[in-house]
Amino acid sequence: MKVLVTGGAGFIGSHVCEALLAAGHEVRVLDALLPAVHRGRPAVPGDVEFREGDVRDPETVAAALRGVDAVSHQAAMVGLGLDLDDAPDYVGCNDLATAVLLAAMARAGVDRLVLAGSMVVYGEGRYTCGEHGAVVPGPRPAADLSAGRFEPRCPRCGAELAPGQVGEDAAPDPRNVYAATKLAQEHLAAAWARTVGGTATSLRYHNVYGPRMPRDTPYSGVASTFRSALAAGIAPRVFEDGGQRRDFIHVSDIAAANVAALTREGDGTAGFRAYNAGTGRPHTVGQMAAALAEAHGGPTPVVTGQFRLGDVRHITASPARLETELGWRPRVAFEDGMREFAAAPLR
């Protein structure tokens, strides 16, 4: 199979390319090499056909799709961003680019897509109130955050809630611009799949980390931010009280999930299907910072109590659907991955 990987020169995309090559597939990369992410031309494996170009350009995408059997759409603007001034860039890079790609795929007769989705579409994760059962807390008030009250409360009685794992059928609740664009990508992919009879798979990535993460950028994930600080001899600054629950998953496991999704076969696979791409074994942000700092040899993380509006408190999910339907399993344990990441080069 010949696969077009958009954003294939980036952090996750480059690992997807390597996994596809290892599985015996042909790979073509389309990447705009945007300066915010790339500070030079990346090294590309010799077996990869590389094309520099923007997914938002219809002619570029049409040319990149010739002779292709499937698309792994990794190109995106990621992270929470700085403020609403980022909104046009998020919508352009994520939603407009996806619409251009899907229209070109329909014209070219390419009917298999894997989308780099995100757990941010859920907003806050799954919560249970001792009195009222499963509830959906609203956004955390700024006054509560300023006072150090970080845990969401039951919207009916104000009691503390127990966090749990969210499933793919949970109602989406995007709480920032980036999250809204990731959900819109899924809606576009589902509409495309229905229209052309194609197969669209969204892998809702959790907190991906590993070698070649971009460094020193406000759009990087928290693991990269901490790793960049440690490399500079600066203590990682942990927001809130460090108790935020996340699912940290190694990039090699995400790459393997992409290969599994691209090659899934059998009757009834047409249409849109979402999968949680995580380990199912959550850790707090404070635990991740401590493990990374210990493996790196310090400095010790500092818990700041700072917060960002739009951040969610706990978001972890069950990967059972991905494991059952696609036969995928995460291979890299948290402790092993953090030891490797502490010494891994960043971009």
Instruction: Identify the CA nearest to 221 among candidates 34, 81, 36.
Output: 81
- CA 191 to each of CA 151, 175, 194: distance values in angstroms, whole numbers, following the listed order: 37, 23, 5
Instruction: Identify the CA nearest to 90 among candidates 102, 76, 103, 100.
Output: 76
Which one from 90, 122, 127, 178 is the annotated catalytic residue?
178
Q: What is the dihedral of CA 253, 234, 78, 111, to 10 degrees?
A: -20
Cα–Cα distance between 13 and 50 in angstroms, integer? 12
Looking at residue 290, its amino acid is A
- CA 94 to each of CA 214, 217, 230, 292: distance values in angstroms, whole numbers, following the listed order: 18, 18, 31, 31
| 178 annotated active-site | yes
- CA 51 to each of CA 32, 46, 63, 175: distance values in angstroms, whole numbers, following the listed order: 9, 13, 10, 35
Instruction: Identify the CA nearest to 249 among candidates 311, 329, 330.
Output: 330
Q: What are phi and psi of 121, to 5 degrees?
A: -65, -20
Cα–Cα distance between 124 and 244 in angstroms, integer? 11
Cα–Cα distance between 226 and 211 in angstroms, integer? 14
Partnered with residue 207 across adjacent β-strands are: 248
DSSP notation for 41-57? PPP--TTEEEEE--TT-
Catalytic residue positions? 178
